Amino acid sequence: GLKMKFFALVQSNEALVSASSDVSVKLWRPNAFGSPSPHTIGVHSDYAKCVTSPAQNASWVASGGLDHNICCWDIQGNGEVLKIHVPHEDTAPQKGSVYALAATQHIIAAGGPEGIVKIWDMRNGQRVHTMVGHTDIIRGLLVADDGMTVMSASSDRTIKSWSCSTGRCLNTLAIHDDSVWSLYSTDPHLRVFWSAD
């Protein structure tokens, strides 16, 4: 059966996009007339591990996975908008995998087993910053609406905030006793957020 790992709400909460171990990225419209089957909008070459939407009314979503790629897919099913290959300097096969994503219309933040947060420019697919400071896997990410701040959650039991203009760590919070698995915020500036271990 389908094993959904992550999902993102889209189209004013009328639909959701899932990333799955079956390598697919699917769009679901549970309230649509006749409850149509989910529509595959993209496929990775390995486990699709995370998905994010830059905004409720965005025309694309981004997904990442164990194939070392970040792929941006058109929500209407018109295929791939952008593909970013995530390079790594290590020979271990899991390095370069994408475990967490967050996006605005202009940037994508990605993290994985290397404990590094990488920022990519959506306009050209170029890497803007590499943010080093965590000592374990990146599990969750948030980006402020203005794209100026990124927050990261890690298995090193810390949460860090980063400046997207300089690539530097602004703050480190050591408030958990175990791996931090997720972050959530409705604050466009990330001044208030929730985290879970």
pLDDT tier for residue 40 given thresholds of 50, 70 and 90: very high
DSSP letter for 185, please. -
Asked if pLDDT for residue 4 goes beyond 50, the answer is no
pLDDT tier for residue 93 given thresholds of 50, 70 and 90: low
The pair of three-digit structure tokens given for residue 106, joined into one six-digit string: 């202009």
Q: What is the model's pTM?
A: 0.89
Write down the number of H helices and E strands in the chain: 0, 18
Distance between CA atoms of residues 174 and 158, nearest Å: 5
Q: pLDDT value at position 104?
A: 95
Asked if pLDDT for residue 39 goes beyond 50, the answer is yes
Region 99-124 average pLDDT: 95
Q: Give, rounded to a whole angstrom, the gap between the first and last alpha carbons of the chain.
A: 27
Region 55-82 average pLDDT: 93
Number of Cβ within 10 Å of residue 174's Cβ equals 11
Region 56-85 average pLDDT: 93
